[in-house]
Amino acid sequence: MDISFLLKMHEGLPRQGPGSNECTRKAFSMLKNLPEHPEILDIGCGSGMQTVELARICPEGHVTAVDIHPPFLDDLARRAEAAGVGERITTVRASMDDLPFGDGSFDVLWAESSIFIVGFGEGLSLWKRLLRPGGYACITEAVWFTDEPSPAAVGFWNDCYPAITSVEETCAKAEDAGYEVVATFRLPGSVWWDYYTPLEKRLPELKKAAVGDPVAESFVAFSEGEMAVYREHGDEYGYAFFVLRRR
């Protein structure tokens, strides 16, 4: 499927998925015994709010930020320069399922709101070679917060990401992929509206731009439906941060 319109929908937004600088800092604070100058890889960085925050909170490190969409990378480069951290961030255009880096190149892998593209267990297995022994992977993943989700919520996730499961089962996937689970924590519901609200304001113009293009119209309709489901059932699911260490 051509996802060019979907990517365009998200250009210029503060974030391309739920998250917050507070959650980024909390996860990073759990990383112990990093080398003096850690190498960090931000996978599926989008326009890089978390990338810039990582450079701020780890001034002795270097962040390589990867995304497939050049406008996101351009936006990130501008943000990094404005924040005074441009020299410590390198942007690379690449797909997360074909990352052009050697084995053991990084001390930390970071992926907020992006691993779903390849799948949680699949992504961890695919990216493991990039981590040095004892290196960390810090990942956000969609999870159920209830054992009995409503049919509407189940129907939505079956359509977009049927691999969603509980925190416990997600931890088991990480262990199966060769990681130790250092910590997990739930992201607050407010991070969803930090992401949704700017996108929602853009929907009227996106609807006009999508007219006559069935694929584009479907992306707009999906976003509207996604927000409606979260309004009604957002207490049943959300994102959790998983702080993992390579065995």
- Structural domain boundaries of the chain? 14-153+160-189+236-246
Report whether pLDDT(1) > 80. Answer: no
Q: Report the mean per-residue pLDDT for the chain.
A: 97
Q: Could you give the maximum distance between any two Cα atoms of the chain, in Å?
A: 55
How many Å apart are CA 193 and CA 21, to the nearest integer? Answer: 14
pLDDT at residue 2, rounded to an integer = 87
Q: Considering the domain 14-153+160-189+236-246 in this protein, what is its CATH number?
A: 3.40.50.150
The mean per-residue pLDDT over the stretch 129-134 comes to 97
pTM: 0.96
User: Looking at the predicted structure, is the pLDDT value of residue 105 above 90?
Assistant: yes
206 pLDDT above the threshold of 80: yes
CA angle, corner 221, sides to 144 and 160, nearest 5?
30
36-76 pLDDT, tens per residue?
999 999 999 999 999 999 999 999 999 999 999 999 999 99
pLDDT single digits (tens) 73-97: 999 999 999 999 999 999 999 999 9
**Predicted confidence band at 189 (pLDDT cuts at 50, 70, 90)?**
very high
Cβ–Cβ under 8 Å, residues 176 and 205 = no
Q: Is the pLDDT of residue 167 over 80?
A: yes
Where is pLDDT greater, at 2 or 16?
A: 16
Query: Measured between alpha carbons, how far is residue 230 from residues 63, 159, 168, 170, 224 in Å?
Result: 33, 15, 22, 21, 10
The Cα–Cα gap between 93 and 78 comes to: 16
Q: How many other C-beta atoms can be found within 10 angstroms of the C-beta atom of residue 125?
A: 16
Tell me which residue has tokens 């990401």. Answer: 161
